[in-house]
Structure 1
Amino acid sequence: MTNRIALILLLLCLAGAAGATVAGDALPVVQPEGRYVDDDEAASYLPTPPGSRARFRQLLNASIQNNPRNVSALAHRAFLFMEGGDAKRARRDYDAALAASEPGSRYERHVLWSRGWSNYDEGDFAATYADWQRAIALHGGGPFWAPYSLALLYWSAGQSEPALQWYATAAVANPEWSTPEGVAVRTRRWSPAQRERMQALFAAWVATAQQ
């Protein structure tokens, strides 16, 4: 019992140090099932070239003007809007992208995956959970991104136990998640807040493995 209490205190301290927040009610707990090693082309994005954000948005605008149903361009522009704090325009573009996506297609999955990250950065963990669970269900298998994404989501929501379960699943699926160097590589393009939280979760996972 003493060790369990000490572990809980450790996890709470780490969560606080990482800036994790509890947003509203607890998320439904979903247990990992099987191995999450399947490819998912829907879980991809075009990184903005350094110093070329304005140019990148111009290219997206031109693509959308040429084809208002360009799902990828709409989703990417929505993500940029959300990053820039323009949630209204971001939601408009995400809604347009979903409307233009064939139901059940990889395009719909891409929009859900991308919007999930935007919702996560906004602190709307319930919306993130809904988007990602839908994207996983539409995939039909074990997409590679599911375990580490859900681990981060649960951890950020203050739900340490499922976070650690999903992180352990991620480490089995991809050994890079089991080393500090690997975590640094996997999160090199993440925002500072995302990296900080994942590093705290990794530290907690290492601590539990040493019990």
Structure 2
Amino acid sequence: MTHRIGLMLLLLCVAGAAVAVEALPAVQPEGRYIDDDLAATYLPTPPGDRARFRRAINASIQKNPRNVSALSHRAYLFMEGGDLKRARRDFDAALAASEPGGPHERHVLWSRGWASYDQDDYAATFADWQRAIALHGGEPYWAAYSLALLYWTTGQSDLAMQWFSTAAAADRKWRTADGVADQIKRWAPPQRERMQALFAAWERR
């Protein structure tokens, strides 16, 4: 019996270690984060017409292999489908086709950051988003709520609260449950669930 309990405890410890998330560097908000950023845009997949959407993207890339937006969107679709090799290939091609420091490079970094987030690679997400923010040169509106979600996901709740408060100060939609629901209605289910949990915690605090 003692042996069995010891084995169970060992398995629980191993499982806990497997799901542990490494803390990200602590970056605090320094500004209002209300600046526009056209690089932070995407084309939502039409409901029930994913195959046609993918064909349209493929056609755009076939016509222009250096179409940064199309490459980024296809990379994200590959990442969603679990084809990490092709996703990385397209993201790399998109970066290679982007003017260094320009809006296209920022778009790829922003998009790849979200793709990495969905794959639980939070360090990669942090690196890409920090680079995109730096290249923007200002205080892009998406930084506050995105970093709030990222820090919340890694368990760094104090930083998550700081960034979420910054997002709420910049945009009143982040201050109410209905507003948050509207802001995240096109997000992936895990992203929505985590942001709603963050909002609930922020509202209680």
State if a TM-score over 0.5 links the two structures.
yes
Partner residue, 2:14 = none
In the alignment, structure 1 residue 103 sits paired with structure 2 residue 80: no
In the alignment, structure 1 residue 134 sits paired with structure 2 residue 131: yes
Partner residue, 1:175 = 172
Q: Is the contact made by 1:26 and 1:159 (CA closer than 8 Å) also made in structure 2?
A: yes
Residues of 2 paired with 1:200 and 1:52: CA distance? 31
Q: 1:79 aligns with which of 76, 80, 83?
A: 76
Residues of 2 paired with 1:154 and 1:144: CA distance? 17
Q: Which runs of 5+ in 2 are unaligned?
A: 1-18
Partner residue, 1:121 = 118
Residues of 1 paired with 2:98 and 2:20: CA distance? 32
Higher Rg of the two aligned structures: 2
Partner residue, 1:13 = none
TM-score normalised by L of structure 2: 0.90
AA partner of residue 151 (structure 2): Y
Residues of 2 paired with 1:34 and 1:72: CA distance? 29
TM-score normalised by L of structure 1: 0.87
Partner residue, 1:112 = 109
Per-residue deviation, 1:144? 0.5
Any idea what SS the aligned residue of 1:102 has? coil
Q: Which runs of 5+ in 1 are unaligned?
A: 1-20
When the two structures are aligned, how many residues end up with a matched partner? 187
Partner residue, 1:153 = 150
Deviations 1:152-175 (A, max 9, x none): 000001110100000000000101
Q: State the identity as a percent.
A: 72
Q: Is the contact made by 1:32 and 1:165 (CA closer than 8 Å) also made in structure 2?
A: yes
Residues of 2 paired with 1:199 and 1:47: CA distance? 21
Q: Is the contact made by 1:22 and 1:158 (CA closer than 8 Å) also made in structure 2?
A: no
* Greater relative contact order, per chain length (Cα 8 Å cut-off, separation 6+): 1
